[in-house]
């Protein structure tokens, strides 16, 4: 079973939908340790992405990711815009010229994309950022693929590892981004970007797995 362009569109649409549904929650989390705009930023960006996808109808998987990236970069002012933009841009590069994506190719593309976000934002594991959800997700995904798991099982493991990574941000002291200005006071709160990254892994699971989308 391989991932199609249609499923790629479903993935982006699902992410836009869960961002909209969780907008106030993400903003609440960002009010605790940031400036209270993460849900607003991401929702503004994803509304613009969905409108752009509808109006331009990108021809293939790579173009869907590149359109998503460019729209996020141009519409989201906060740190998260360029970082998610980098993630989707690298997904576009990694999927260039491919009509369908195998489980192994998805794992490799997402791994390259997360590494690009790390290079861009200079965050590593336990800095209390989106990397704390994304890095466990790519580790789980590549281990599952190496174990010979099917795509559905690999995506499920990636989602639950992202969830664990997100929850593990609660006790951490932030070392990157706006929350790092709070120092020790950032401990005891879940990171908003790790939360939106967990939602992203859920969207991939639903769109690319055997499930609903």
Q: Which of residues 126-145 bind ligand ADP (CB under 6 A)?
A: 129-131
Burial class of residue 142, CB neighbours in 10 A (0-12, 13-18, 19+): middle
Piece of 47-55, 64-72, 154-162, 171-179 that binds ligand ADP (CB under 6 A)? 171-179
Q: Which of residues 12-31 bind Mg ion (CB under 5 A)?
A: 30
Tally: H helices and E strands in the chain: 9, 0
Name the nearest CA neighbour of 16 among 163, 195, 200: 200
Piece of 14-22, 76-84, 160-168, 201-209 that binds ligand ADP (CB under 6 A)? 76-84
Q: State the maximum Cα–Cα separation within the chain, in Å, rounded to a whole number.
A: 48
**Comparison of 136 and 209: residue with beta carbon closer to ligand ADP:** 136
Question: Does residue 38 bind ligand ADP (CB under 6 A)?
Answer: yes
DSSP 8-state secondary structure symbol assigned to residue 126: T
The tokens describing 167, both together, are: 């929850």
Query: Cβ atoms within 10 A of the Cβ of 34, count?
Result: 23
Considering the complex, what minimum distance in angstroms separates the CB of residue 13 from ligand ADP? 21
**Comparison of 58 and 81: residue with beta carbon closer to Mg ion:** 81
**Comparison of 138 and 151: residue with beta carbon closer to ligand ADP:** 138
Residue 167 sits at φ, ψ, to 5 deg, of: -65, -35
**Comparison of 63 and 116: residue with beta carbon closer to ligand ADP:** 116
Q: What is the dihedral of CA 55, 14, 65, 196, to 10 degrees?
A: 130
Any idea how long the chain is? 213
Please select the residue that binds Mg ion; options are 11, 23, 34, 209, rule is CB under 5 A.
34
Question: Does residue 162 bind ligand ADP (CB under 6 A)?
Answer: no
Considering the complex, what minimum distance in angstroms separates the CB of residue 33 from ligand ADP? 7
- Report the DSSP beta bridge partners of residue 101: 3
The closest residue (CB) to ligand ADP is: 193
| Partner in contact with 194, chosen from ligand ADP, Mg ion, none, beta carbon below 5 to 8 Å by kind | ligand ADP
Q: Are 80 and 130 in contact (CB under 8 A)?
A: yes
**Residues contributing to the site for ligand ADP (CB under 6 A):** 30, 34-35, 37-38, 41, 78-80, 83, 121-123, 129-131, 176-178, 191-194
């Amino acid at each position: 079973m391989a991932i199609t362009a249609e499923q790629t569109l479903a993935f982006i649409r699902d992410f836009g939908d869960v961002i909209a549904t969780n907008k106030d929650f993400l903003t609440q989390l960002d009010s605790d340790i940031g400036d209270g705009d993460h849900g607003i930023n991401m929702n503004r960006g994803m509304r613009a992405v969905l409108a752009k996808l509808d109006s331009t109808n990108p021809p293939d998987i790579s173009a869907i990711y590149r359109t998503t990236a460019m729209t996020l970069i141009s519409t989201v002012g906060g740190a998260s815009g360029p970082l998610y933009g980098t993630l989707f841009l690298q997904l576009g590069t990694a999927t260039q010229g491919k009509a369908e994506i195998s489980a192994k190719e998805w794992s490799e593309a997402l791994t390259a994309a997360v590494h690009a976000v790390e290079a861009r934002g200079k965050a590593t594991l336990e800095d209390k950022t989106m990397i704390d959800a994304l890095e466990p997700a790519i580790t789980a995904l590549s281990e599952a693929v190496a174990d010979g798991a099917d795509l559905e099982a690999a995506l499920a493991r990636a989602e639950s590892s992202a969830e664990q990574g997100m929850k593990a941000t609660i006790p951490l002291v932030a070392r990157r981004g706006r929350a790092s200005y709070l120092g020790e006071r950032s401990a005891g709160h879940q990171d908003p970007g790790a939360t939106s990254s967990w939602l992203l892994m859920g969207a991939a699971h639903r769109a690319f797995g055997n499930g609903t989308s």
